[in-house]
Amino acid sequence: MKPPSIDTRWLGRIDYDSALRLQEAALADVRAGATPGQFFLLEHEPVYTIGRTRDQSSLLATALLPHPVRETNRGGQATFHGPGQLVGYAILDLHDYGEDLHRYLRFLEQVVIDTIAAFGVAGARRDGLTGVWVEDRKIASIGVGVRHWVTMHGFGLNVRNDLAGFQSIIPCGISGVQMTSIERETGIPLSVETVAATAAEIFTRSAASLRTQNGTQP
């Protein structure tokens, strides 16, 4: 039988390729039934990522970008990761959480909304635009990949990162979007690890509830 709880891990600052290898290994474990899921929380070295799509116009002039680019197996257009941003990668078998990708995306959005609410920031969804917003400013991007109903990737929540990295691309393919962070909204210089601890607690509690709603024991 699968162990009873999701394994959450704080990885600290790690490069994108190393984190992707960890996700691949975790996905194999979840598929094999060795664990019900894993949730990695981390910061990345500066990097641009984009989903596998023919339209890569959101990267603008790739050769002029100040940081490396990685094409990866998630949905969505270009985004930027860097120190000060909390990245959450969830490896879950959606057979246990409802085989509904749209519902899963809303679940991730709610995890972020509840996390930033704990620090005094009122986040919200916007119709037709996956992610989390503070009024008209985007504070978190979400992109996932699914293989045999097992998820990869997740969210990037701006905590206290330098938002200048977003200026070299069209974030998530949304022209004119303004990015923000918890620090910009509150003036409080929180550590990413502090926010990660809150996100881990909210994620595991919310995932247990979603699992129960799907008729699977947490």
The catalytic site residues sit at: 172
Other C-beta atoms within 10 Å of 15: how many? 13
Q: Cα 38–43–44 angle (5° rounding)?
A: 105
> Which phi and psi angles does 114 have, rounded to 5°?
-70, -35
Q: Token match 């890569």: residue?
A: 56
Long-range CB pairs of 51-56 (<8 Å, 24+ gap) are: 51/75, 51/76, 51/77, 51/143, 53/77, 55/173
Task: Report in angstroms the alpha-carbon separations of 125 from 23, 107, 136, 141, 207.
Answer: 27, 11, 10, 11, 19
- Give the C-alpha separation, 172 to 58, whole Å: 7
When computed from its CA atoms, the radius of gyration of the chain, rounded to whole angstroms, is 16
